Structure formats: C-alpha cells, structure tokens
Amino acid sequence: MKHLIDPTDLSKEEIDQIIALAQDIIAHRERYQGSMAHKKLATLFYEPSTRTRLSFTAAMMELGGQVLGFSNPQNSSAAKGETVQDTVRVLGCFADIIAMRHPIEGAPLVASEVSRVPIINAGDGSHSHPTQTLTDLLTIKRELGHIDDITIGFCGDLRFGRTVHSLIKALSRYHGIKVVLIAPDELRLPDYIKLDVCEKMGVAYRETDSLDEAIPELDVLYMTRVQKERFLDEDEFDRVKDSFVLDARRMALAKPKMAVLHPLPRVNEILTEVDEDPRAAYFRQVENGKLVRMALIISLMEWKNDPEHTMPEHEAPIVNPALHCTNAKCICNNEKHQPRFRLAENGIMRCWYCDSKVR
Ligand code: NCD
C-alpha cells in the first residue's frame, strides 16, 4: 500500500504518472466520472482550510465517490483526547482512503503507521504539503510545457511555508533546476531543506532579499503568504508581514513567459492588479489542484494491493532516550510516540517525524 506523507514517498516515475493521468483526465473527463463509484474518502481536517479540503471533496465527487469527515476538530473525538492513530483506525472502518490536515508535524506519518487504508497528508504544520506539490508540478507543466531546466524563485515565507519545502524536495529530482530563495533574514528556508535536499541532490540555489534583483531571470515565481499562525512572536510577524509585494511594476521586469504561482490564500503579497496579467497562473493552479487530486485518488486506490507500488525503504530509525526533538509542534512532543531520529547530511541528527534538530 502507498501513503502520501512526504513528496518523496512517490518516486519521480510515480509523480510523472500522476501528472500524466491528470492530463488525461483533462482531455477525457467523461471516462473517469464513475471510477470511484461506491468508494468513500474521509477528510480529517484539524486545521482551517478552504481550497485543499474542498478540492479533495470536489475531486472525489467528480469521480463518482462519496466524502465524509470533519473540518473542525472540536466536532471530532480529538476534542475528547483521542489520538490521531486511534482516529484513523476507526475511520479506516468507514472509508477507503483518508486525507488528513493537522497543525502538529508528523501527525499524518504516525497515522499512516497504523492505517489500513491509504493516508494522504493534506498539510502538517509548517512541515510538508505534498498534494500542493503535485498541484504546483502540474501547473508548471501546463504553463511552461516542461518541469526540467527551469529557474524558480520562491518568495516570502520560506521558513514556515510548507508548500515551499515540499515543492523543492520534489523539484530536486528533476533536471537542471535552479532555485532562487527570496526572503528576509527571519523567513529563510530551513537548513534541513538546504542541506538534505538542495546540497545533497545538487540543486543550484542562491539566497537574496531583493525580488527586483531576482525577477528578471525567473521562469516561475512562487509567491507565498507570511504564515501568521506559525509565529510564536507577534512583533516578529508585524516586522515581516509585508516583506514582498508583487505588483505591475515588478511584473514589467519579468520574462514575457514567466508563470506566477501562489498556493493561496493570498493576503497582500500579490496586488489584484496582477490578476489580469496572462502570466498570473494562481487561479488556474486551483483548478489543477482538483484535477491532480483526482489522479492521485485513482492512483493510490489502484496501488493499494500492488506490490510494485509500496512505501520507499528507509534506514531503521534511531532510538536513544538521551535525545529530544526541539520542535514543540512535533507529534512526539504532543502525543505519546517514542522519539525517533535519523542521521542526515553532515552527520546532523534530525527528528524522524518533523526533521527538526535534536537536543
Ligand atoms: C497553503 C497551506 O495550507 O499551506 N494553502 C493551501 O494549501 N492551498 C498555503 C497557505 O496557507 O499560505
């Protein structure tokens, strides 16, 4: 069985297969209409969401399947103190596949360890968001015609923006990717992505704090919202909240074919004057999100009993009672899961569940 917790749970071939299936769905919608008849998707959303949850719902409905779940954990047994693992054990009796969003990092991973149906991570804290990544890859493919050999600029909150972390991981397996990281000091990309992904996989990257300087070389500009809900300090949020704003003046500095992506919701990082620019791809990206989730649901259901499509093998986790994960928002510091670690690049020990540094 295959879960999708991290973008690297899918091989590059599997990702390309899902994207190709999404493109076939676009060309032949009618062929897929009943493909999930009598199947049920459970959406367990412990954190606010509009498009991701409704995009999963619309995807399943278009495939002829049904949807159950909750969008507010206060309406679930989580409010009574039930663990994530128990909730998915129960939901696995009702649904054929589960999409879960959780503010605690690593929650979908521990869910997948006990689930008898595929689990899709629909976003865990500031950690990962692999279905947004599939959306972004399909969008890049449709806007530019290719994913290899692009220069992509990530702008805004690269520290807490989980969509950025996941997309860089996925892109690291394509050819000729150049990454420009555009952020103020406080919002820079976490070290583990720079070291364990970019440096390990040989992705060329550079950091800058000037969008004006970076924009002329970009094929894709990936704008992000400053993730207010992840800041522990409100003053820090106020200092950086309006760091970068994309407007018509800046668009004039960009290539005529550059695509502007944004996972949405936007707050004020893209002025509405940009919306009419043909390079503004963010609303087309929303539609791609539904299409690629249709392709993902079909694929995971098909792969459920296929020994060719299983989870990737990892080295066994390290267990050492003297070590602690430093992330207060990690599942191992919120539910009773044995802390586990892995040895990453440069001999750095990281948390198995959330990739944070270890004390
Ligand atoms: C993103 C998310 O939830 O991480 N939104 C989404 O899934 N479309 C980005 C964000 O909230 O800023």
Please say if the pLDDT value at position 243 is more than 80: no
What is the chain's Cα-based Rg?
Answer: 20
Residues 6+ apart with CB under 8 A from 177: 148, 149, 150, 152, 171, 203, 204
Please say if the pLDDT value at position 75 is more than 80: no
| Atom number of ligand 1 nearest to Cα 289 | 8
pLDDT, tens digit (0-9, with 9 covering 90-100), for 24-60: 999 999 999 999 999 999 999 999 888 899 999 999 9
Mean pLDDT of 177-195: 94
CA 316–ligand 1 middle distance (angstroms): 32
Please say if the pLDDT value at position 278 is more than 90: yes
CA 84–ligand 1 middle distance (angstroms): 21
Could you give the 3-state DSSP secondary structure of residue 78? Answer: helix
CA 314–ligand 1 middle distance (angstroms): 28
Ligand 1 pocket, residues with Cβ under 6 angstroms? 51-52, 123, 129, 132, 162-163, 225, 263-264
CA 282–ligand 1 middle distance (angstroms): 12
Check residue 277 and report its DSSP letter: S
What is the pTM (predicted TM-score) of this model?
A: 0.96
